[in-house]
A and B are shown apart, each in its own frame.
Chain A
Amino acid sequence: MDEALPGLLADVLGHAYALASAERSPAAQSYILLLASAARGAVRLGRLGSSASILAVSGPPVPFSVPAHLLSSPPPLASAAPPSEQNVREIRKVLALVMERPQVLTPAAAMEVTAIVAEVATAVLEWAPAIAAHVKVQFSGMAYSSSPMLLHSVLTLFAKFPDAFGAEDERKMARRLASAACEAHRPLPVRLLVLHWLLGSGRFRDSVPGLAKWFYPGMFDPLALKAKKLDCLGFVAATVDSDKVEGGSYGQQTTEFIDDGLVCVSAFRWLPAWSTETSVAFRALHRVLVGAAPHGTNDKGCSGAGELLNSTTFHHFQAMLVDMASEHRSLVPVIADFINRLLACTTHRWVGEQLLRTFDECLLPRLEPGYQLASYYPLFEKIAQNEAVPQLRLIELLTKQMVCLAKKHDPDTELKSWSQGSKVVGICRIMLKHHHSSHIFLPLTHLLVRTIESFPDLEIRDHARYL
């Protein structure tokens, strides 16, 4: 009833206190919760500011008596008067009883009690700052519990009582969270949540780079956990990288975090492109990029763009993607999707374009014409679509490809030449649509002329497409 009608018991707090302090049976927990809830009601109603004692009672509690404030409509505004000295004392007495022995509470009840204590104590903290230390002493042991509810409750106290928990406590707590994610007995969602808590608070984030060793995924960690740990490593890499610019050093190359982290899903290089390992690996790469150059808060674009471009991380990144593309053809569509994702983002479009330029400069010279080149067409299409990327190298490669196809063209390979050749023409078409510069006109004409010479029926069949 107190939950449904907040403040119902605010006037009989004294009775609730007496009941809760006298009860010794296992029902004591319920009385503690009742007292806490009633105390919260009193605080919300601004009773601390009145001159009357919040614990004062007149006569025994009477059933069915509804306090006046519940009947008035609209509800009266709480008084904003500072709490009286007496009521600060009284509320401390109430809190002392509620916090007396958290160990006798069940984890669920402890979570509720912690939440209420945090709210009530915050209300009087200015007049009784010692409460924060008391709260810390009584509850911080819960951080080492197996129960995720208790662990999370302690975290809420960190947020509520910033002055009670010092830098050392923050470091310890951050370490606790990082290590809790490695505990195999915990259910997977909890292990994921723990890492979210670590990354979610500004107070723990500073400690994250020092915890890198906890984030290297274990071999038998579920892939979801591997993905989340890689997020943390990506965070470390981004932080370390930006600190390096400022002169900090963690004695480790950012690139090592990425490479060593990806070991856990290294099979993605040979597994099919739709494998979960592949998704996890490319998600991690994306997180590293976005971590280094986060989206701006006010559409002003990307912070850290310049730093990222010149960072070792990004150079490494480019080399890695080029190697991947040239050594594992099956990854090309995945890489194309990856770049597409960046191109579609207003903040990171430039990263995608830069990667396409890298492919133009570093990948295209490595590729040989032949039937296998078809695997790279998805990437070529991206390059052809993009005005910010030079086209000449691509045209040159496609011209060589046409020559090669023409050479191999015989009755046996007729269908294949046709299929591959028409795709090359398709890429040329994309290029024509997106590049209106005379720059590409001549080499492209050259390519198309050669194509028509080798495949005389092309003009007739494809004429319509160019119109």
Chain B
Amino acid sequence: WPLRVSGHPILETSAESTATARPHLRRSMSGGGCSIRAIWILTPNDAVAFSRRFAVVEKRWRVAWEAEGVGKGAEMPLPADYEVAAAFANRRRREGTARGSGIRTNLSSVGLDSWVDDPITRHIISLQIDKEEGGGFMLWPVVLQKRGSYYVLVLPLVDPQSFKAFESLLKRPDCGSSAKENGNLSSILLNLPCITGAFMVANVIGDIITGDVAEPEVIVSSGPSVGGLLDSLTGSIGITARSKPSAAPVAAPVASVSSPVGAAQSDSLKGGIRPFDKELLRSFIIGAMPFGTPQDLNYGNVSSIRTTGYSADPLPTDQKQPAWKPYLYKGRQRTLFSSLETINAALYDRDDVPDFLSVSGQLTCRAELEGLPDVSLPLTGLKTARVEVSSFHHCVQASEPTGNKQSLLFQPPLGNFVLMHYQAPCNIDPPVKGFYQLSMVSENEGAFLFKLRLMEGYKSPFLMEFCMVTMPFPRRRVASYDGNPSVGTVSMTEHLIEWRIVSSGRGLSGRSIEATFSGTVRFHPRTTQRVNSSFRSATTTAFAEDSDCEQDITKNGANLDDYLMEKMNKDLQAVDLEEPLSWQAYNYAKVSFKIVGGTLSGLIIDPRSVTIYPSVKAPVEYSMQP
């Protein structure tokens, strides 16, 4: 059957159209699916901490290449651990950082990932394996994920056509391809679901080695939840409450965004290496991806099957028990839902610049129900809440949204799970409004002023559990500060000042308050720092001469601001591509808070509208935490 592909020819077509000669060999590779050839975990010192190879998949790799020409099957075997470690170290040396720059710079050259000029090459890398006896080759696509201090490398099986297409992309001498050209990176990636699968594998392995395998939180309305303070501290930008929205926050962009003490060092080693349980990982791999083909990447499931096996209970109906529900719940029945929303906001307090407010929410569920019941949940108010995007757990069958409504039907899995993720604008004023000013009165002293209004327009049951303002000074060392806030307490560390306005235990509900804080902050004198950034050396040879201009400018008085700005930014480092902006170049204050009792998007569910079939008498509880 001839494949009809409109427009741009895709790679699969060529594989299929030549399939007549050696049908089963050629076809064996095309068409998706995901199999893993090998997994490596490297330490920051370029030692292999763990590796796993899959012989069955490797055989398929050899067979596929043998079809390309006799003897080709043996040309690119899986490298030894030390060869992978050496290749990884070599790549880091050539690219400048472990992940690589992801954008073509002056340091990029033909054959380097950054030559391809796409940020995804920081996550899907190629490794040049050098053989002592000559005949080196490329290992691609290696999915790279940095977790804790470790680098997780996952190599999926790809078809020779895709491999060659990428290889030729790496070697193209021109100025960089666009999506409108044949053989572009996008079409290669579209044809390789195995890369997507490998990401998920790397992801869960990362979770296991960092111990981040907890289920998403479902908040029970009674009793305060714990940990909010720390969570919000570690991951917040602008105004943020709660920072761990997803079940598996893989290199969660938000979470890494604003470590207060400068962010650009994410490739460098922070602290020691925490050892991980290799036996645990090994047994997970056996259960999750037998013979290299992933079948279940849910850590909870795989480990519970390993420890307790499948349930032996006879099923109440004639259905198949889902693979993601290895045993059935028994006990008191109830269903819990909770909404959790994270708001990211940038407040400018200016008439000409609109504030930026965006809510990302999730509806988490825990269904303690016996048997295999169907749960139906009608969602209403989608249009009112202006929900822009939503995605659902794989157990959910969602109806086509009509106007304001959409209904979800699902057989709930065990434990807590995220039923739905959504994005929406913030439909009410943010709970913290106001302004922050900082002006330097001398080289080492700044005067600042905060004027904030908290919870304006928020009526009970909205309750603000805590609220904290942070003034980060990543490039200066704070010596001391003066001034007392109208409410709350202040503390300082080397690079920041923290103002706790509302602390946990003493919530704010049913009223709004105004909080002001003015004072001065003194810094230790600057010590000259020399930046050693690859970006810098790449692009700025001409800057060495800037001192020439100094006198000229100061004499003329023209462009003084520009000149000062330039001088201040001289020691600024280029941020990673995972960051949203060059934080260190700005003076800003961060507000983190946590409130409960409602949602900011306005999207709420009605527990009474939840129906369960076959029907049981089970209470449905609902809690909200924006």
Contacts and interface: CB of A to CB of B under 8 A. Distances in A.
Q: Do A and B come from one complex?
A: yes
Interface in A1-42: 3-4, 6-7, 23-30, 33
Interface string A328-367: 1010111001000110111110000000000000000000
B39 interface: no
B274 interface: no
A270 interface: yes
A184 B253 contact: yes
Contacts of A270: 562, 565, 569
Interface string B427-448: 0000000000000000000000
Nearest to B258: A220
A377 interface: yes
A318 interface: no
A279 B181 CA distance: 22
A222 interface: yes
A182 interface: yes
B542 A227 contact: no
B181 A182 contact: no
B601 interface: no
Interface in B546-573: 546, 548-549, 551-553, 562, 565-566, 569-570, 572
Indicate the member of B32, B122, B245, B301 with the most A CB atoms within 10 Å: B32
Contact of A77 (B23, B27, B203, B296): B23
Contacts of A27: 310, 323
B45 interface: no
B268 interface: no
Indicate the member of B118, B178, B297, B572 with the most A CB atoms within 10 Å: B178
The A contact surface, by secondary structure, is helix
Contacts of A3: 56-57, 60, 291, 293
Given A44-B23, A192-B120, A332-B542, A30 B295 contact: yes
B197 A111 contact: yes
Nearest to B26: A44
Interface in B392-424: 392-398, 411, 418, 421, 423
B578 A188 contact: yes
B566 A272 contact: yes
B574 interface: yes
Interface string A176-193: 000110111111111011
B254 A184 contact: yes
- Interface extent on A, as a size class? 35 or more
Contacts of A24: 315, 318-321
A250 interface: no
A416 interface: yes
B542 A147 contact: no
A274 interface: yes
Interface stretch (A88-96, A138-146, A392-400, A451-459): A138-146
Contacts of B289: 108
A122 B33 CA distance: 15
Interface string A235-247: 1001000000000
Contacts of A312: none
A235 to B, nearest CB: 6
A20 B246 CA distance: 34
Interface residues of B, number: 155
Contacts of A105: 322-323
A174 interface: no
Given A3-B293, A155-B190, A333-B540, A220 B388 contact: no
Given A104-B321, A106-B297, A196 B120 contact: yes
B489 interface: no
B138 interface: no
Given A219-B580, A220-B358, A371-B551, 9 more contacts: A25-B310, A103-B411, A106-B394, A146-B393, A273-B543, A275-B535, A291-B178, A295-B181, A341-B176
Closest 3 CB pairs of A and B: A202-B7, A200-B190, A200-B186
Interface of A: 3-4, 6-7, 23-30, 33, 44-46, 75, 77-78, 80, 100-101, 103-112, 114-116, 118-119, 122-123, 125-126, 141-142, 144-150, 152-153, 155-156, 159-160, 162-163, 179-180, 182-190, 192-193, 195-203, 205-206, 218-228, 231, 234-235, 238, 267, 270-280, 283, 286-287, 290-291, 294-295, 297, 328, 330, 332-334, 337, 341-342, 344-348, 370-372, 374-375, 377-378, 416, 419-420
11 contacts: A26-B326, A30-B295, A106-B324, A108-B295, A112-B34, A189-B250, A193-B196, A222-B257, A227-B577, A283-B104, A287-B176
